[in-house]
Amino acid sequence: MEKPLTQHINLQQPLSLKEYEAKGGYSAVRKALKMTPQEVQKMVQESNLKGRGGAGFNTGMKWSFVPMGENAPHPKYLVANADEMEPGTFKDRLLLEGHPHQLIEGMIVAAYAIQADISYVFLRWAYKKAAALIRKSIAEAYEAGYLGNDILGSGWSLQMHLHTGVGRYMCGEETALLNALEGKRATPRAKPPFPQISGLFGKPTIVNNVETFCCIPHIVNNGADWFKGLSKSEDAGTKIYGVSGKVNRPGAWELPMGVTVRELIEEHAGGMKNGYKIRGILPGGASTDFLTVDHLDVKMDFKSVAAAGSRMGTGTMIVMDDATCPVGFVHNLQHFFAQESCGWCTPCREGLPWVERILLSIEKGEGRTEDLELLQMHAQFLGPGNTFCALAPGAMEPLQSALKYFRDDFERHIHQKGCPY
Amino acid sequence: MLSESEIHAIDHEVSLVPHKKAAVIEALKVVQQHHGWVSDEKLEEVAAYLDMSPAEVDSVATFYNLIFRKPVGRHVILLCDSISCYVMGYKKLYEALHEHLHIKFGETTPDGRFTLLPNACLGCCDHAPALMVGEDLYRDVQVQDLENILAQYK
């Protein structure tokens, strides 16, 4: 089984530029520079690579909206979203700490495809080890002539900077991230215009997730068909999946797109710890709907998880065991979302704290039967179409599915006037 | 007054962006690196230096949870309180820290040694529960580990 993204991962001593070159590293930059930018875009589009940050949009298609040619506005920007903060998600940390040059190579190829001039790695504050490694790797890439002016004699130039954030989940939303890079509050922007047309400082900008960029060198080296062939499903490539919670071997693994939930939990994560059973699963981070033991044979790809009523999201799942109170679990999630709401639009700013307080009162045994209807109502009011960005709708996904699958638990709290766990 | 080294560092950040205002977060980071936190006085100086109003700078400063607008201890403990650490028992760590240091979330020990803050997902979900002290990350933390961890920070 091929594992292109993680074959060179080394968490103790990641490859230096020279070591990576010896293993074929940066050959994708050399190859891409011999192609036209449009050819690179087309190749990535045909590979059917979908964004690994959670939204799952075709990456090459996303790039294709950037104005190209002599009359295109400059500077154009390219940003790696390394602000990994979705609760339960730890896949980009692995790529950043284990093989930083793969990200940089992918960013250079992507920047060439859209003819960007300036690029940023937007890294969350907490990833200290990654920051040091990326800083060192960018310096090595400049020294080797893969960054800077007239890259490998192509006439094309690219600068790259590391930007470390100062907190807030909202920075992971791509337009909020751009506001943060401009030194503003990280609130989302209205779309359209989309960042491809008017992004950072009003210029054409592409923002992609770390894992997405890490796929790019392999697609350019091996072709679109090879990338599609890595997968077990309609969605192409491999995926970094993860499992956390009370399992025997929590971790992250690169596997063909489309492995089942069961395979991830039972084989890779070693099954549940002794004495615990699976109660629910958030398949792709905090802002995805619960799946249950009835969904263990669902394939982990964008389409199959959607058909099961949830989203693949980041592909890093959180397992809720039978000794963990679902009400307390969902309260923890809503506490996070209420705290991280940027306050820009009313349903999210006002609604999430109400949801959090209602859940807390139920957990403490002070809930009323009608509170469940109130929660259900919020799940609709804060759902898709009523807010500026996806934060509140994402927050409602685990809430609405918890009300569906674990309603008995909510009712027991109310009737027994306390938490039975 | 902003010190020479603060101004030097802020000027460098300003040189990397198309207009001065865009460097405000970096400027606040510079001030915090020098003083541990951002006081009203320093915030006003940053505002004057970047041709912004103090209110505009404060709107940015208060948005980001790792820009400190109150004094903090010499070492800031960030305890992850997100979902995987919740499942794996971060609350036991909180209770033990509270018992040991006699402070709650948001508080600083009277000797100015530690500030205890909750933090959203640290991205160590496969090694939960996790916490950071200053810039150091600790994973798979058990209550009995805490004393040795804290002893390293004077």
Which one of A184, A245, A340 has the shortest CB-CB distance to B120?
A: A340
In Å, how far from its chain's centre is CA A190?
A: 21
The nearest CA of chain A is from the CA of B67 a distance in Å of 7
Classify residue A138 as exposed, middle or buried by CB count within 10 Å of its CB (0-12, 13-18, 19+). Answer: buried
Q: In which element (H, E) is residue B80 found?
A: strand B75-80
Chain B positions touching A276 (Cβ under 8 A) are none
With CA atoms as reference, the chain B residue closest to A246 would be B88
- Which tens digit of pLDDT belongs to each residue from A223-276? 999 999 999 999 999 999 999 999 999 999 999 999 999 999 999 999 999 999
Q: Rounded CA gap, B97 and B95, in Å?
A: 5
d(C-alpha A301, C-alpha A311), whole Å: 9
Asked whether the beta carbons of A169 and A155 are under 8 A apart, the reply is no
What distance in Å separates the CA atoms of residue A154 and residue A109, rounded to the nearest whole number?
A: 13
Q: Looking at chain B, which residue has its C-alpha nearest residue A90? A: B123
Q: The pTM is what?
A: 0.97
Q: Is B85 annotated as a binding residue?
A: yes
Contacts of B24 in chain A (CB under 8 A): 183
The domain covering B4-63 belongs, at the CATH homologous superfamily level, to NADH-quinone oxidoreductase subunit E (1.10.10.1590)
> Beta-carbon neighbour count of residue A9 at 10 Å?
17
Break chain B into its structural domains and give their ranges: 4-63, 75-151
Q: Which residues of chain B have pLDDT under 50?
A: none
Domains parsed from chain A with CATH numbers: 17-229 (3.40.50.11540), 238-321 (3.10.20.600), 326-416 (1.20.1440.230)
pLDDT the model gives residue A128: 96
Which of B60, B82, B126 is opposite residue A183, by nearest beta carbon? B60
Distance from CA of B101 to the nearest CA of A (A): 23
Q: Contacts by A141-144 with C-beta closer than 8 Å and gap 24+?
A: A141/A17, A141/A101, A141/A104, A141/A108, A143/A17, A144/A17, A144/A21, A144/A26
Quick: pLDDT tens for A19-72. Answer: 999 999 999 999 999 999 999 999 999 999 999 998 899 999 999 999 999 999
Residue A72 is given by DSSP the state: S
Q: Are strands A118-123 and A77-82 parallel, antiparallel or unpaired?
A: parallel
Low pLDDT (below 50) residues in chain A: none
B75-151 matches B4-63 in CATH topology: no
B75-151 CATH, one of 3.40.30.10, 3.40.50.460, 3.40.50.10490, 1.20.120.330: 3.40.30.10
Nearest to B102 by CA among B114, B86, B92, B90: B114
Amino acid A55: pLDDT: 86
A348/A354 Cα distance (integer angstroms)? 10
- A307 is written with which tokens? 């058909």
Å from A24 to nearest chain B CA?
30
Q: Which ipTM was obtained for this model?
A: 0.96
